[in-house]
């Protein structure tokens, strides 16, 4: 089973994403800010297969979190989706500069989010169907 | 009624964010440029993002406009004027009201749309003056929310959803119609309107909230909510509802409805999006030391993607491209691979398996439980852990009882040993019970901050209205007390603070004349003192004039002139607590509403506390509230009267004495007795409760419980004294609630119900 980590300070958003990711067949863990997210990634063996990262968070924001991940050779390959409510081009550019695989605007359609998460983490559709059947 | 679990999570979170935003905004006014701006922005930003998950577009729009305003402040394009802060605070209040509505009704009122329009205009006003282009920042927020299926539609049984969608030749629209409560008086007929919906596929009528009792129902008020699904032209629908546009929401259902979204469906759009994302990641211009990380991330994502779309045949090509990128330190090979992948899309034979459905669970199935207004308590993890440990101990102690029972059965222990064993276990269980009581008590403890936090806003608003300059200083907010105590504290405190603002603190010019700083100070202090929490409200205002109080008290007939003369100043000012006393010369809209400090006193006393007041003319007033830390467990003294037992709260008991009947004196029409040189009036319980007179004890002595009622000592003649104990007092409910003279009941160990006397009511 693939593992996903949600890093977002809003509990409701985490709950929303968790539901989508679990239906798509992920095992989900959550963190409330970038710092806690780093702790979770470092503590996990093996590291998660996908990161869902919010930008504006207390203590450590999403950009700093992502830069820390991309700078660490053992973790740098983990695909990451950055999700924010900003749809400004400059925000997207900052996200890609920090190492995001994809920049999405919240809240996003559940079906599309699920599809994108599966593509990035390498879950074939047939595999997802099996997970659902269980 | 609201049963969507995501919404249930959202409501308390939204309230927290609003609280935080309100607090930060006030802090920001005091200290512009402080860290509060970031906190404020983040709270509003998070609220906007989260609200976008729900079909509450008006709310999202208002929060969004507030965020844009703050964005301008943060970027230094706009200074936060007091008027702007007013608008922001009011807007946050509006959002708070909508959240409450959402909690109760599960949706926003029909008027929200138009209200949101005017809020957005107000919030954007300071921006448009400064900088017209800000207008263009309004994005179609909640676009996704609009495309989403409304909750009520998702909650429909699956078969009905499919029946609606079957052979629809027109686009489908979901119509939610919340008629105005007074619509019948305007000649509107909601039912007829729904019947006229063109292409009606389905209609639903339900009460907005649980039906009230039959006798309280008002049949002239429309308490319904109507839903419909129609296959029709949108313009026709809008035309039909043209007279009630603010009460109706018409939402286009997505074309694929009701087929649930298939997880993992690799639709071409998602693939395109992901590939475009990898291109941007590879071309990004971030710090150079992150380049290897970005290359690895893109390679990993692409590997996942080809596996997901079942193009593992490209794995070798991808590995080669990744190696090339790694060795050259440049993304070109990977970019070329992406181009190849987009030009050669996956063989799309994947739509066939899609219809599998059936496992889709409607969101709102778990109806029934009303969660509106449920009181929730936030608890630190450590407190729960402590409780959990005790439960563990209790389980162990419980098991020991089974062992004891076996011993008793087998007769291996003699009665004496058995009794000792039982006593040992009893003392163990007793200790655990006491610890658990303490632990549960700790769970109920809240910091006083909880009440204090509303005051910065209150003080700000009132002082602005009164044209006074006031600084509020809060100290000891971390002091903890029981939740009930904290709640009992709120109203009296508001009253006291308002009094200070209104009557205590002088306008700036008067303060200047008196040689005081123009800005007055109100201190809110909390501290723990043994088993009490002490709250002080201290102002440096004009103080209370004892002479004025005496005049007023005499005029109101509370005391006569001679009594007024002999009353020392510090006692005179306490007359403000007397029922019906009010010194306000002019009735202002703040505190001169006929409820005076006597209401404060009775509210505090009801919670088992007392009030103190000291005041010095020209220097200020201090009001002190002393409340027990907890109201859950009360120590009582039990007294017997014939066969009957009654409880008296220990907090009122001064001492117990036994007196020969002959020691009583008749003083005018009252019985009294002398207790260490002072005369104490006697009251007979039999008389208070209208019981038959008690038989005189053989020794001719009477049991007298000396109690303190409303600051006065009294001797209560009872039958006999019994034990003191700690009990949990249950308030009288049902038909007994109206009974005067009893504070509540508690269960005794033998199953009897003990009535707890309320001496204030009985004697007063």
pLDDT digits (tens, 9 = 90+) for B321-348: 888 888 888 888 888 888 888 876 554 4
Joined together, the tokens standing for residue B361 give 């669970």
Q: Which residues of B367-403 are buried (b: 16+ CB within 10 A; e: fewer)?
A: eeeeeeeeeeeeeeeebeebbeebeeebeebeeeeee
pLDDT at B521: 93
φ, ψ at B613 (rounded to 5°)? -140, 130
φ, ψ at B139 (rounded to 5°)? -100, 160
Q: Kindly state the percentage of chain B with pLDDT values over 70.
A: 86
pLDDT for B475 beyond 50:
yes
Identify the sign of the CA torsion B124, B125, B131, B135: positive
3-state secondary structure of B50: helix
Answer yes or no: do A85 and B52 touch at CB < 8 A. Answer: yes
d(CA B573, CA B621): 10
- Residues B457-480 have a mean pLDDT of 86
The answer, for B2 touching chain A at a CB cutoff of 8 Å, is: no
d(CA B199, CA B240): 12
Write out pLDDT tens, residues B264-280: 344 667 888 888 888 88
Joined together, the tokens standing for residue B91 give 């807007």
Write out pLDDT tens, residues B154-212: 777 777 777 777 766 777 888 888 888 878 877 778 888 888 888 888 888 888 777 87
Question: CA angle A54-A57-A63, nearest 5°?
Answer: 60
Write out pLDDT tens, residues B531-554: 788 999 999 988 888 888 888 888
Mean pLDDT of chain B: 79
Crossing angle for the helix pair B112-130 and B57-74, to the nearest 10 degrees: 20
pLDDT at B639: 92
pLDDT for B297 beyond 80:
yes
pLDDT for B591 beyond 60:
no
The DSSP bridge pattern shows strands B445-447 and B480-482 to be antiparallel
Collect all residues of chain A within an 8 Å Cβ-Cβ radius of residue B299.
77
Helices within B206-290 (DSSP H only) = 234-240, 268-283
Collect all residues of chain A within an 8 Å Cβ-Cβ radius of residue B43.
none
Q: Which of A119, A121, A130 best tests the B interface by mutation, with the highest count of B CBs <10 A?
A: A119
Joined together, the tokens standing for residue B481 give 């007390």
**Looking at domain B151-252, which of 3.30.2420, 3.30.70, 2.30.30, 1.10.10 is its CATH number?**
3.30.70
Of B297-306, B360-369, B639-648, minimum mean pLDDT range: B360-369
Answer yes or no: do A115 and B270 touch at CB < 8 A. Answer: yes
d(CA B758, CA A124): 72
Sequence spans of domains, chain B = 5-145, 151-252, 269-343, 381-443, 448-628, 633-763
From residue B442, alpha-carbon distances to B282, B320, B446, B607, B662 in Å are 55, 63, 8, 19, 50
Of B630-634, B669-673, B699-703, B711-715, minimum mean pLDDT range: B630-634
pLDDT at B268: 66
Joined together, the tokens standing for residue B387 give 């409780």
Strands (E), B574-719: 610-616, 620-628, 633-641, 644-649, 653-660, 664-667, 670-675, 678-684, 701-709, 712-718
* Nearest CB neighbour to A115, from listed B50, B265, B293: B265
Answer yes or no: do B284 and A97 touch at CB < 8 A. Answer: yes
Is A62 in contact with A81 (CB distance < 8 Å)? no
pLDDT at B623: 92
Is A29 in contact with B68 (CB distance < 8 Å)? no
pLDDT for B385 beyond 80:
yes
* Nearest CB neighbour to A103, from listed B6, B49, B277: B277
Collect all residues of chain A within an 8 Å Cβ-Cβ radius of residue B49.
10, 13, 54, 84-85, 106-107
d(CA A24, CA A2): 10
Element (DSSP H or E) covering residue B721: strand B720-728
Q: Which residue of B has its CA nearest to A119?
A: B305
- Residues A52-62 have a mean pLDDT of 89
d(CA B454, CA A5): 37
Identify the sign of the CA torsion B202, B203, B209, B210: negative
Element (DSSP H or E) covering residue B446: strand B445-447
Write out pLDDT tens, residues B688-713: 888 887 666 666 788 899 998 877 88
Q: Kindly state the percentage of chain B with pLDDT values over 90.
A: 5
pLDDT for B746 beyond 70:
yes
Report the candidate in A104, A22, A51, A18 with the shortest Cα–Cα distance to residue B144: A104
Strands (E), A8-79: 26-31, 50-54
d(CA B648, CA B321): 86
Task: Reduce the secondary structure of B535-555 to three states and give it as a string.
Answer: EEEEECCCCCCHHHHHHHHHH
φ, ψ at B325 (rounded to 5°)? -65, -40
pLDDT at B139: 39
Task: Reduce the secondary structure of B138-157 to three states and give it as a string.
Answer: CCCCCHHHHHCCCHHHHCCC
Of B35-44, B159-168, B192-201, B678-687, minimum mean pLDDT range: B159-168
Q: In angstroms, what separates the C-alpha of B262 from chain A's closest C-alpha?
A: 6
pLDDT for B143 beyond 70:
no
Greatest CA separation found in chain B? 114
Q: Place B586 in a pLDDT band, splitting at 50, 70 and 90.
A: very low
Q: In angstroms, what separates the C-alpha of A123 from chain B's closest C-alpha?
A: 5
Joined together, the tokens standing for residue B622 give 């201090």
Element (DSSP H or E) covering residue B753: strand B753-757
The answer, for A43 touching chain B at a CB cutoff of 8 Å, is: no
Question: What CATH number corresponds to the domain at position A72?
Answer: 3.40.50.2300
pLDDT at B743: 81
Kindly state the DSSP code that residue B730 receives in the 8-state scheme.
Answer: B
pLDDT for B758 beyond 80:
yes
Joined together, the tokens standing for residue B455 give 């005051």
Is B52 in contact with B144 (CB distance < 8 Å)? yes
CATH number of B448-628: 3.30.565.10
The answer, for A59 touching chain B at a CB cutoff of 8 Å, is: no
3-state secondary structure of A16: helix
φ, ψ at B649 (rounded to 5°)? -55, 130
Joined together, the tokens standing for residue B159 give 């078969």
The answer, for B45 touching chain A at a CB cutoff of 8 Å, is: yes
Report the candidate in B136, B139, B97 with the shortest Cα–Cα distance to residue A106: B139
pLDDT at A127: 44
CATH number of B5-145: 1.20.120.160
Structural domain that includes position A78: 2-133
From residue A26, alpha-carbon distances to A17, B267, B311 in Å are 11, 19, 21
3-state secondary structure of B343: helix
pLDDT at B588: 43
Q: Which of A16, A34, A110, A115 best tests the B interface by mutation, with the highest count of B CBs <10 A?
A: A115
pLDDT at B498: 85
- Residues A84-95 have a mean pLDDT of 79
The answer, for B565 touching chain A at a CB cutoff of 8 Å, is: no
Element (DSSP H or E) covering residue B471: strand B470-475
- Residues B440-466 have a mean pLDDT of 83
* Nearest CB neighbour to B50, from listed A13, A72, A124: A13
The answer, for A7 touching chain B at a CB cutoff of 8 Å, is: no
Write out pLDDT tens, residues B48-65: 888 888 878 889 889 988
**10 Å Cβ neighbour count for B349?**
8
Residue whose entry in the numeric block shows the structure tokens 């709640």:
B487
* Residues whose CB is less than 8 angstroms from the CB of residue B505 and which lie 6 or more positions away in sequence, other chains included: B468, B470, B511, B520, B522, B539, B540, B541, B542
pLDDT at B318: 86
Q: Kindly state the percentage of chain A with pLDDT values over 70.
A: 90
3-state secondary structure of B4: coil
Would you say domain B633-763 falls under CATH 2.40.50.180? Answer: yes
Q: How many domains does chain A have?
A: 1
Joined together, the tokens standing for residue B169 give 């030749």
Identify the sign of the CA torsion B372, B374, B378, B384: negative
From residue B273, alpha-carbon distances to A81, B104, B268 in Å are 12, 40, 9
- Beta-ladder partners of A3: A27
d(CA A56, CA B671): 74
pLDDT for B421 beyond 70:
yes
d(CA B398, CA B302): 59
Is B222 in contact with B179 (CB distance < 8 Å)? yes
Is A125 in contact with B264 (CB distance < 8 Å)? yes
Kindly state the DSSP code that residue B34 receives in the 8-state scheme.
Answer: S
* Nearest CB neighbour to B293, from listed A58, A71, A132: A71
Joined together, the tokens standing for residue B461 give 């608003």
d(CA B83, CA B81): 5
């Amino acid at each position: 089973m693939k593992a996903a980590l949600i890093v977002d300070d809003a509990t409701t958003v985490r709950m929303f994403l968790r539901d989508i990711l679990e239906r798509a067949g992920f095992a989900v863990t959550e963190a409330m800010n970038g710092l806690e997210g780093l702790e979770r990634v470092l503590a996990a063996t093996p590291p998660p297969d996908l990161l869902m990262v919010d930008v504006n968070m207390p203590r450590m924001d999403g950009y700093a979190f992502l830069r820390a991940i991309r700078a660490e050779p053992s973790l740098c390959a983990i695909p990451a989706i950055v999700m924010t409510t900003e749809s400004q081009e400059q925000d997207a550019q900052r996200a890609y500069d920090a190492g995001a695989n994809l920049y999405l605007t919240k809240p996003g359609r559940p079906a599309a989010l699920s599809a994108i998460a599966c593509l990035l983490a390498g879950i074939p559709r047939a595999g997802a169907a099996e997970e659902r059947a269980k | 009624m609201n049963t969507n679990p995501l919404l249930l999570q959202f409501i308390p979170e939204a309230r927290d964010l609003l609280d935080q935003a309100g607090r930060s905004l006030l802090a920001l006014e005091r200290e512009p440029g402080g860290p509060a701006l970031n906190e404020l922005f983040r709270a509003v930003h998070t609220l906007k993002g989260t609200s976008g998950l729900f079909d509450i577009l008006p709310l999202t729009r208002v929060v969004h406009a507030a965020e844009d305003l703050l964005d301008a402040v943060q970027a230094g394009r706009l200074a936060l004027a007091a008027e702007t802060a007013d608008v922001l605070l009011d807007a946050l209040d509006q959002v708070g009201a909508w959240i409450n509505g959402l909690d109760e009704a599960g949706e926003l009122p029909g008027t929200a749309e138009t209200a949101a329009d005017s809020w957005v205009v107000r919030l954007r006003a300071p921006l448009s003056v400064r900088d017209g282009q800000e207008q263009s920042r309004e994005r179609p927020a909640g676009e996704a929310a609009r495309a989403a299926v409304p909750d009520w539609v998702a909650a429909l049984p699956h078969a009905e959803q499919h029946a609606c969608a079957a052979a629809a030749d027109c686009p489908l629209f979901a119509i939610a119609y919340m008629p105005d409560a007074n619509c019948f008086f305007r000649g509107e007929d909601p039912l007829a309107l729904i019947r006229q919906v063109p292409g009606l596929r389905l209609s639903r009528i339900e009460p907005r909230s649980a039906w009230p009792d039959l006798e309280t129902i008002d049949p002239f008020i429309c308490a319904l909510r109507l839903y419909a699904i129609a296959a029709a032209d949108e313009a026709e629908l809008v035309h039909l509802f043209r007279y009630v546009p603010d009460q109706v929401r018409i939402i286009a259902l997505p074309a694929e409805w009701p087929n649930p979204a298939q997880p993992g469906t690799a639709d071409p759009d998602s693939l395109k999006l992901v590939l475009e994302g990898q291109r941007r990641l590879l071309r990004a211009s971030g710090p150079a030391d992150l380049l290897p990380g970005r290359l690895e991330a893109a390679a990993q994502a692409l590997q996942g993607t080809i596996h997901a779309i079942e193009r593992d045949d490209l794995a070798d090509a991808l590995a080669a491209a990744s190696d090339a990128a790694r060795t050259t330190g440049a993304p070109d090979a990977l970019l070329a691979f992406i181009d190849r992948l987009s030009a050669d899309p996956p063989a799309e034979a994947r739509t066939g398996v899609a219809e599998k459905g059936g496992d889709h669970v409607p969101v709102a199935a778990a109806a029934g439980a009303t969660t509106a207004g449920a009181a929730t308590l936030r608890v630190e993890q450590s407190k729960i852990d402590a409780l959990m440990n005790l439960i563990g101990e209790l389980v162990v102690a419980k098991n020991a009882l089974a062992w004891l029972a076996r011993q008793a059965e087998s007769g291996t222990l003699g009665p004496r040993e058995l009794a000792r064993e039982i006593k040992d276990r009893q003392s163990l269980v007793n200790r655990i019970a006491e610890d658990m009581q303490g632990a549960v008590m700790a769970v109920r403890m809240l910091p006083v901050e909880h009440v204090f936090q509303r005051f910065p806003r209150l003080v700000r608003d009132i002082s602005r209205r009164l044209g006074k300059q006031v600084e509020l200083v809060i100290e000891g907010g971390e002091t903890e007390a029981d939740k009930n105590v904290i709640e009992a504290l709120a109203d009296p405190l508001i009253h006291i603070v308002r009094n200070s603002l209104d009557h205590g603190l002088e306008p700036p010019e008067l303060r200047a004349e008196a040689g005081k700083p123009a800005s007055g100070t109100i201190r809110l202090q909390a501290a723990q003192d043994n088993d009490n929490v002490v709250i002080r409200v201290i102002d440096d205002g004009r103080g209370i004039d004892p002479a004025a109080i005496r005049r007023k008290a005499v005029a109101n007939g509370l005391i006569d002139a001679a009594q007024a003369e002999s009353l020392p100043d510090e006692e005179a000012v306490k007359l403000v607590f007397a029922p019906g006393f009010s010194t306000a010369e002019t009735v202002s809209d703040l505190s001169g509403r006929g409820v005076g400090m006597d209401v404060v006193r009775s509210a505090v006393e009801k919670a088992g506390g007392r009030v103190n007041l000291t005041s010095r003319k020209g220097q200020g007033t201090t009001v002190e509230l002393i409340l027990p830390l907890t109201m859950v467990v009360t120590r009582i003294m039990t007294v017997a009267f014939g066969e009957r037992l009654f409880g008296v709260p220990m907090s009122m008991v001064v001492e117990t004495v036994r007196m020969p009947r002959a020691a009583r004196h008749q003083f005018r029409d009252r019985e009294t007795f002398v207790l260490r040189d002072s005369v104490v009036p006697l009251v007979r319980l039999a008389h208070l409760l209208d019981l038959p007179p008690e038989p005189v004890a053989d020794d001719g002595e009477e049991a007298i419980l000396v109690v303190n009622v409303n600051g006065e000592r009294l001797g209560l003649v009872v039958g006999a004294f019994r034990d003191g104990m700690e009990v949990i007092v249950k308030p009288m409910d049902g038909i007994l609630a109206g009974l005067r003279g009893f504070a509540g009941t508690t269960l005794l160990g033998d199953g009897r119900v003990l009535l707890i006397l309320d001496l204030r009511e009985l004697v007063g």
